[in-house]
Amino acid sequence: MPPADTRGAAPGDMVEVEITRWPTATRGPAGRVIDVLGQPDAPGVDTTVILRRHGIVEAHGPGAVAEARWMGDEVRPQDCEGRTDFRSDLTVTIDGEHARDFDDAVSVVRRGAGGYVLSVHIADVAHYVKAGSALDEEALDRGTSVYFPDRAVHM
């Protein structure tokens, strides 16, 4: 592969390649690097490989982005009605360092009469994301399983 076709990829890098000449019985294939993903053990490279292998779009759609921006980042008083508010408790995520979402957490609070209360928090976005909305459709497209007629691939 000519150096101009490597896009600066280093030995061992995961890359996306376009085949420009298919192999024959007497010669190997030729191609050019479209994108350098990085070293296989670098954070996020494995996820990018899976997304691309299965044709899953990495960027969120404009409708979902607009909907999320419209919601804002402030919790309104009416959002807390009928719900328990744990924001004053020191809460720590239990999702891994390289997780794509941080929606599971725990908190520990000392009880006045002795002992502790351990709370496990699992995000419930149904209050904000309504069925059939752009965010809901985006979530359906980005679920934790990729469906193929003959099998499911869990990510």
pLDDT of residue 23: 94
**Taking the model in full, what pTM does it have?**
0.54
pLDDT (tens digit per residue) in 128-139: 888 899 998 888
Supply the DSSP string of the chain, one letter for each residue: --GGGSTTPPTT-EEEEEEEE---SSS--EEEEEEEEE-TTSTTHHHHHHHHHTT--SSPPHHHHHHHHHH-SPPPHHHHTTS---TTS-EEE-S-TT-S---EEEEEEE-TTSSEEEEEEE--GGGTS-TTSHHHHHHHHT-SEEEETTEEEE-
Q: What is the pLDDT of residue 148?
A: 46
Token pair of 60 as six digits: 């969120």
Provide the pLDDT for residue 95: 84
pLDDT values of the chain reduced to their tens digit, one per residue, 155 residues: 566 678 889 999 999 999 999 999 999 999 999 999 999 999 889 888 888 888 877 788 999 999 999 988 898 999 889 888 888 888 998 888 777 677 889 999 999 889 999 999 888 788 888 889 999 888 887 765 544 455 444 44
Gap between the Cα atoms of 120 and 153, Å rounded:
28
Closest C-alpha among 128, 123, 117 to residue 94:
123
